[in-house]
Amino acid sequence: MDHVFENLLILMAVIWSMAVLLRRIGLPTIMGELLMGVILGPAVMGWIDTNEVIETLAQMGIFFLMLHTGVETKPREFYAATKSSLGVAIVGAIVPFSVSMGVALAYSLDTGPAIFVGLTMTATAVVITLKILRDLGLHNTRMARVITASCVIDDVLTLILFSVALGMVNGGAQDPVQLVWIGAKTVFFFAIVIFVGSRIYPLFKYPFKDRQGKGFTFVLVLALAFGLFAEFIGLHIILGAYLAGLFFDEAVASPALIQKVEDRLYGISYSFLGPIFFISLGFHMTFDALKGPGILFVIALTVACAVGQIISAGGMARRLKFSWGESVGVGIGMCGRAEMAFILASLGLSLGAIDATTFSVLIITTFLLNIFTIVGLKACAVHLKRRGPAPSEAPPIEEWP
């Protein structure tokens, strides 16, 4: 047991150090946590070996990351997004998924692993992208609003497709009837959860009328219930966690209580369990991904995903009468990959859908895409500020009815 706490001490010291260092230089802390996982793990120094306790904490990190993402994403943002950004989101998801899967197939991966590669490269990084946009002073622009809305839609689509892919991994890949059954279960799950979220949640208004309500416990109970229900019908617990948080909004609780729940979830997700999950990903990485054809796989996947995202999302933004600079900014802004991508890659590895080398390729590609997003958005910010402010077309999403 002492060994477990020694490992935990090292992990928490690393988490705190990375947060202080990387925030000072303006980089996402997730990137540092992944890098330190590689350095401290078996691939380099071997100071920490993965064990049952760390793996359990990492799995809890996945759960709380998805729950926090759900609470932070308001349903009205999603509804408003479908009005103005549906084309950007759908085309901006289909193209990266297709080209990423195509690259994986070209590098001799089977269909199942190639699908997980495509899904991982479709999941967006709305939290990191929004932080970058805020740091650059672009968070209240129409470009930022479209990026945010499209990322919300893409993440929901990715979760749905992940449910289908999970069913295929569990034995339904060759049976069309089974695929239809998987799709039916997914639709049934979302229908039940949406009904509970929109009709049953509001019945609990009274206990949540002020900041003293036990909102955190309520959300946690619902997340576990939805998650276990998802697993019962053959889906994954992260779906329940995400959707349970999604419907905990101002229709149910007071703004002060929602903020309190968000703060607690943020602390658990990004100061404790989430960083342990990100560091633990590094324990599974192998440098075999950078040997021989592996490095070409990384380069091809990075370029294909970035170019496909810019052309697809940026092209659709251009059709919405955005300027060329704004359109490119929308495409670059949707290139970021973070929590959702890491979660899907990790689940693909644990399910045996991808091997350690493919997993490492995905993590390295995600690193490169995040660096590209940071540099690209900074360049866009310089260009847009020189060109002058864009005409305002709509209020911020959070003000939309």
* Domain boundaries along the sequence of the chain: 2-399
* CA–CA distance, 242 with 64 (Å, rounded to integer): 9
Computed from CA positions of residues 29, 34, 40, 44, in that sequence, does the dihedral angle turn out positive or negative? negative
Residue 125 Rama label (left phi>0; alpha psi -120 to 50; beta):
beta
Helix axes 142-167, 176-195, angle to 10 degrees: 130
Instruction: Look at residue 101 in the predicted model and tell me its pLDDT.
Output: 93
pLDDT at 92 over 50: yes
Which two tokens mark 158? 């990715």
Q: Taking all residues of the chain, what is their mean pLDDT, rounded to a whole number?
A: 79
40: pLDDT strictly greater than 50: yes
pLDDT digits (tens, 9 = 90+) for 102-130: 999 998 888 888 988 998 898 877 666 76
318 touches 87 (CB < 8 A): no
2-399: CATH number: 1.20.1530.20
Nearest CA to 32 out of 50, 49, 17 is that of 17
On the question of pLDDT at 145 being above 80, the answer is no
Q: For residue 378, report the phi and psi dihedrals to the nearest 5 degrees.
A: -65, -40
Task: Label residue 111 exposed, middle or buried (CB < 10 Å: 0-12, 13-18, 19+).
Answer: exposed
Nearest to residue 208, comparing CAs of 166, 250, 254, 269? 254
- Return the pLDDT at 290: 75
Q: Which two tokens stand for residue 28?
A: 């996402």
Q: Which of 362, 352, 391, 371 is nearest to 122 (CA)?
A: 362
Torsion sign (Cα): 244, 250, 255, 257:
negative
b/e 353-385 (16+ beta carbons within 10 angstroms → b): bbeebbbbbbbbbbbbbbebbbebbeebbeebe
For 212, the 3-state DSSP assignment is coil
pLDDT tens by residue, 49-68: 777 888 888 888 888 888 88
Q: Is the pLDDT of residue 140 over 70?
A: no
Cβ atoms of 369 and 337 closer than 8 Å: yes
User: What span, in angstroms and rounded, lies between the C-alpha atoms of 167 and 288?
Assistant: 29
Query: Does 78 have pLDDT greater than 70?
Result: no
Give burial (CB, 10 Å; 0-12/13-18/19+) of 199: exposed
Q: Which is more confident, 394 or 203?
A: 203
